[in-house]
Structure 1
Amino acid sequence: MPILWRGIREVGKNACRAFSKILQCEGRETTGLVESCGKCESCIQMEHHDHPDVIWVSHEKPNVISVGEIREQIVNTVEIMPYKGPYKIYIVDEAEKMNVAAQNAILKTIEEPPEYAVIFLLTTNRGAFLDTILSRCILLATRPVPGTAVEKYLVEKCSVSKEEAEFAAGFSLGNIGKAEAIVSSEEFQDLKELTLSILRYIHEIESYEIADKVKEYKKYKNRIEDFFDIFLMWFRDIMLLKADNSVNAEAAKKKIIFKNEYAYLKKQVDKLDLEAIDYVIGKIHRARVRIKSNVNFDATLELLIVEARREF
């Protein structure tokens, strides 16, 4: 059974894990709400990410899943029966990174998979797939959870303040798994504060300060996506305030994510036009691509900060 699952990255992954856990569960309920028992050996293995019949396909290059990787990890092993569970589940995260050769290689397998095989293709971009792949898959989509629901969940389950929950819900764009990770991670909070210390004064930061700040990011290399998201959300807030300020300033203020930073944002709103804001947002996306392409880490971050400062 091939399933193409489109949606926000972590939402899709978490939903796929939960679905896989139910499929492999030895004591799941079969009437009413179907859910895993959470107690059997299979469920425990799923919790520890070491179930022998759930295979996460890996890839060496950050931006490509090659034909060799698809053949080695799926095509050449799919005929081997499950070790213990009723299903053999393959999960291809970021499946849009499969090149054409890789998609053609997996085509035969998803056309005629063994009865026990379940193949998940997780993606944020349905347009990256060949029509022959799309026509042979069950198509599913996950959507963001409403912000108020995320806030309620975080306040009740994670015992955080309404203010913290509101920020996490907005920053995660309705991704409840990401929101929970944000409020429970001290490392994220440290990274956020470091990045805000740059953004608050980016219009007047000196070149030597930029170099010193960038050195501090070495310990956050594994969270560089969060750095880019913080940078992007900051300038998104500036754009919202700029666009709505003349119409309804209070309404605009309610929409922004960095509500506690409103005074700093407002100063920068007055210094930038929409074209400049759009330019900086484009540079953030470009820097993200450069990091994924293994361009020098320090140089990429320094260039982004310098290019953003130049627009003020």
Structure 2
Amino acid sequence: MAELNEILGNERIKEHFITAVHHKKISHAYIMEGDKGSGKKMLAEAFSKILQCEGRETTGLVESCGKCESCIQMEHHDHPDVIWVSHEKPNVISVGEIREQIVNTVEIMPYKGPYKIYIVDEAEKMNAAAQNAILKTIEEPPEYAVIFLLTTNRGAFLDTILSRCILLATRPVPGTAVEKYLVEKCSVSKEEAEFAAGFSLGNIGKAEAIVSSEEFQDLKELTLSILRYIHEIESYEIADKVKEYKKYKNRIEDFFDIFLMWFRDIMLLKADNSVNAEAAKKKIIFKNEYAYLKKQVDKLDLEAIDYVIGKIHRARVRIKSNVNFDATLELLIVEARREF
């Protein structure tokens, strides 16, 4: 696992943690909000490692020593006083799970460390009963308890929980920093790193997943084979292409992102009134597809592009609502084609 000072970006959160340790003012409850892959888990783990480090007091440094038993246990994800709260159902964290794993155990003193740390990933999935169950612990915690609620949506929490937690929001990492990281750590080409950094919008976890996934590359190529010729594709071709997406159902969000980024690039090129084509090209994500994009720019007005982007968002919602998979994708492609 990464040390706090090795984590890319989110300097404000890292500075907050360092200051808290330095002044010995550790909050009992943190809400860490950010997109999936934005580094919430890494930040929570790295901070927990510092808090539990046995060698820190002797070094006087605000960092983990990496050598003591606690640090080694953290590296192996088996520290007895750092508990990752789990849940059985994919879409909900129940009141029973919160009671069993937090409420009923928090009064038990830490086994070895100075803190007993609970990390609740996907905390927005706690139902109202679960949130009310954890609320009392947040309101009246033992002095050694620290709770991290990791979430993609703070709006899912009760106001009473929000008011009693320190809110820390992750931020996108600058594109150049993501590119450098991918080239150095993932051994990819500058071109691949540039695309992943742009496509992920500074989400380092997502960028790393993109360059390391052959499945993503296959999905990207399939989707581009539609987008390059979407203005002239035949109805029977649409139906055939959509059938190929069945094997990518678990990555359908990536399909929508690719579709969205394509029309975002068209909008950028359309809105750029500069005569310098190279300057405009530098702004887009699909740089290798510039020739295809430019052809479509000349066929669409901004209102049509905005309409298609709206249809992409609507299709994403329909899929989440379990509307027919094939029909939703086919309708989206047909609606996009009509605007040309």
For Structure 1 versus Structure 2, the TM-score category normalised by the shorter chain is: 0.7 to 0.9
CA separation of 1:102/1:166 partners in 2, compared to 1, >3 Å: closer, same or farther? same
Asked if structure 2 preserves the Cα contact closer than 8 Å seen for 1:8 and 1:124, the reply is: yes
Change (3 A) 1:57 1:201: farther
Give how far 1:208 is off.
2.4
- Provide the secondary structure at the position in 2 that maps to 1:5: strand
Query: In the alignment, is the contact (CA less than 8 A) between 1:62 and 1:293 conserved in 2?
Result: no
For the 8 Å contact 2:179–2:190, the answer to whether it is kept is yes
* Paired residues of 1:147 and 1:169 also in contact (CA < 8 A): yes
- Report the alpha carbon displacement of residue 98 of structure 1 after superposing the two structures with TM: 3.7
Deviation, 1:130, is: 3.1
Deviation at 1:108, TM superposition (A): 0.9
After TM superposition, the structure 1 stretch with the greater mean CA deviation from structure 2, 107-116 or 262-271, is 107-116
Match of 1:209, SS state, is helix
Report the alpha carbon displacement of residue 207 of structure 1 after superposing the two structures with TM. 2.5
Q: Distance in 1 between matches of 2:137 and 2:287?
A: 50
SS class of match (2:117): strand
In structure 1, the partner of 2:323 is 295
TM-fit CA distance, 1:25: 4.9
Q: Deviations over 1:159-186 (max 9, x none)?
A: 2221111111111111222222221222
The 1-side partners of 2:286 and 2:175 are apart by 15
RMSD (Å), alpha carbons: 3.0
Residues 31-65 of structure 1: CA deviation (Å, up to 9, x unaligned): 47644455666656655656555444455666554
254-263 vs 18-27, greater mean Cα deviation: 18-27
SS in 1 for 2:236: helix
Shift of 1:237: 1.1
Give 5+ residue unaligned stretches, structure 1.
none
| Paired residues of 1:27 and 1:40 also in contact (CA < 8 A) | yes
Cα 1:101–1:247 change in 2 (3 A) is farther
Q: Distance in 2 between matches of 1:98 and 1:209?
A: 43
In the TM superposition, residue 69 of structure 1 has moved relative to its aligned partner by 4.5
Cα distance, 1:79 vs structure 2: 3.4
Deviations 1:119-148 (A, max 9, x none): 212233334433321221122222221111
Structure 1 stretches of 4+ moved >6 Å? none
Task: Report what 2:64 is aligned to.
Answer: 36
Going from structure 1 to structure 2, the CA distance change for 1:84 and 1:209 (only over 3 Å counts) comes to farther
Q: 1:30 to 1:265 in 2, by over 3 A?
A: farther
Structure 2 contact 66–72 (Cα < 8 Å) conserved: yes
Tell me how far 1:27 sits from its aligned partner: 5.4
CA distance in 2, matches of 1:86, 1:63: 33
Q: 2: distance between equivalents of 1:102 and 1:156?
A: 43
Rounded to whole Å, the distance in 2 between the matches of 1:18 and 1:189 is 31
Gaps of 5+ in 2: 1-30
Q: Is the CA contact 2:40–2:170 (under 8 Å) kept in the aligned structure 1?
A: no
Cα offset, 1:261, TM superposition: 0.7
* Structure 1 residues 27 and 162: CA distance shift in structure 2, 3 A: same
* Aligned-residue offset at 1:80: 4.3
User: Quick check: 2:81–2:111 contact (8 Å CA) kept in 1?
Assistant: yes
8 Å CA contact retained: 1:6, 1:12? no
In structure 1, C-alpha distance between the alignment counterparts of 2:89 and 2:336, rounded to whole Å: 30
Give the distance between the partners of 2:133 and 2:275, measured in 1 at CA. 54
Q: TM-score, normalised by structure 2?
A: 0.77
Q: What is the TM-score with the length of structure 1 in the denominator?
A: 0.83
Q: Deviations over 1:213-238 (max 9, x none)?
A: 22222222222222222111111111
Specify whether residues 31 and 103 from structure 1 end up closer, same or farther in structure 2 by C-alpha distance, changes over 3 A only: same
Between the aligned partners of 2:107 and 2:133, the Cα distance in structure 1 is 15
Aligned residue for 2:86? 58
Is the 2:274–2:280 contact (alpha carbons within 8 Å) kept by the matching residues of 1?
A: no
Label 1:280 to 1:46 Cα distance change in 2 as closer, same or farther (>3 A): farther
Alignment partner of 1:67 out of 84, 95, 104: 95
Change (3 A) 1:162 1:79: same
Instruction: Work out the number of aligned pairs and report it.
Output: 308
Residues 34, 152 of structure 2: 8 Å contact kept: yes
Kindly provide the CA deviation profile for residues 248-303 of structure 1, in whole angstroms up to 9, marking residues without a partner as x: 54333211111111111111222222222222222222222233333333333222
Contact 1:95–1:123 under 8 Å retained in 2:
yes
- Give per-residue Cα distances to partners, 1:58-93, cap 9 Å, x unaligned: 556665545454444433443345566554433333
Q: In the alignment, does 2:267 pair up with 1:239?
A: yes
Deviation at 1:29, TM superposition (A): 8.1
**CA displacement at 1:100 relative to structure 2:** 4.0
